[in-house]
Amino acid sequence: MNLQLLQTRLGYTFQDAGLLQQALTHRSHSSLHNERLEFLGDSILNCVVASILYERFKAIDEGDLSRLRANLVKQQSLYEIAQKLELSQFLRLGEGELKSGGFRRPSILADTLEALLGAIFLDTGFDAASTVIRAFYIPILDSVDPQTLGKDAKTLLQEFLQSKKISLPQYNVVATHGAAHSQEFEIECLVPKLNIQVYGRGGSRRAGEQAAAKLALDVAEQALLKSPAANRKPKPRAAQLKLAGIATIQSDDAAVAAHTQQKSTPA
């Protein structure tokens, strides 16, 4: 295990190698594991990310700052950073976790990243941990839209339609599939003024609505981009474009690919 390689990727060299070892140690490996360091690192991470957002987005209110921070420090975001560091190759796991693929588990990788931040703090202090965290997040913030980051598809669709003075979408359950313990909901999303009718599927009603909203937003943006007048009331007997599609989502937090079909309906 080349720990120098990991330290190069972190941009930080530990004075106390024992702290680095502990930060990489899962509880399945030994009694001297990283959970306390993870607790510490989580608090430091939240503080530094909050500071970055406060400095960077001076016109954003407290509610939106909280939304941004929550999205940036959630497990999936930490997992993606850990993946870039290729952190899985440095984990110290017990035999059971190794056999079950624990080195690929998002929760373990995210927790280990937080533990590393806690270890850096103990090794040389807050400023060092802050420098490492900023190196992780500044490039991310350079490439995201603070107005949409962390908002779900239903919220984004609602805001988009309101900005165009279009009535809010309608959601209807059109079918349920599967056994009672593993049902999949098929949800219809309608935006009548744009003649949009799309369908989303998910393991809960909410998940299905989110999938349908994501597809509806994509279709609405494309429709208005192609036809600037599309958000005005159509003339009587004018040809109507009906857009339909299917989107699938397996959980409330995971969006998957959507397939759309476009067809013209008779006037």
Is 117 in the same domain as 157? no
Is the dihedral angle over the CA atoms 140, 143, 149, 154 positive or is it negative?
Answer: negative
CA distance 49 to 59: 17
Q: How far apart are CA 244 and CA 215, in angstroms?
A: 9
Are residues 76 and 186 part of one domain? no
pTM for the structure as a whole: 0.64
Does residue 22 lie within any of the structural domains? Answer: yes
Catalytic residue, chosen from 38, 42, 186, 188, is 42
Domain of residue 257: give its range: 153-265
CATH number of the domain residue 192 falls in: 3.30.160.20
CB 3 within 8 A of CB 100: no
Q: Map 8-44 to HEC letters.
A: HHHCCCCCCHHHHHHHCECCCCCCCCCHHHHHHHHHH
The CA-atom distances, in angstroms, between 72 and each of 4, 50, 90, 118, 229 are 27, 10, 23, 17, 37
| Nearest by Cα to 263 from 239, 238, 244 | 244
Q: Which of 38, 111, 114, 123 is catalytic?
A: 114
Predicted local distance difference test score (pLDDT) of residue 228: 52
Query: How confident is the chain (267 residues) per 10-residue block, as mean pLDDT?
Result: 92 97 95 96 97 92 90 92 95 90 90 98 97 95 77 85 90 89 89 92 89 90 70 43 42 39 40
61 belongs to the catalytic site: no
Q: With CA atoms as reference, report the closest residue to 202 among 183, 178, 228, 221.
A: 183
Q: Does 146 map to a domain?
A: no
Residues 169 and 246 in one domain: yes
Rg (C-alpha) for the chain, rounded Å, is: 23
Where does a domain end: 141, 163, 186? 141
Domain membership of residue 196 (yes or no) is yes
Query: Known catalytic residue: 62?
Result: no
Shared-domain flag, residues 96 and 121: yes
Residue 205 φ/ψ, nearest 5 degrees:
-60, -40
Phi first, then psi, for residue 136 (nearest 5°) are -70, -45
Contact 24, 112 (CB under 8 A): yes
- What is the CATH number for 117? 1.10.1520.10
What ranges in the chain are assigned the alpha helix state H? 3-10, 17-23, 35-56, 62-73, 75-85, 95-99, 106-124, 126-141, 153-163, 205-226
124 and 160 co-located in one domain: no
pLDDT digits (tens, 9 = 90+) for 54-73: 999 998 889 889 988 998 99
168 and 234 housed in the same domain: yes
- In this structure, is residue 218 part of a structural domain? yes
| Domain annotation covers residue 73 | yes
Residues 6+ apart with CB under 8 A from 197: 188, 189, 190, 242, 243, 244
Q: Pick the closest to residue 135 from 81, 60, 74, 79 (CA basis).
A: 81
The last residue of one of the domains, among 141, 174, 203, is 141
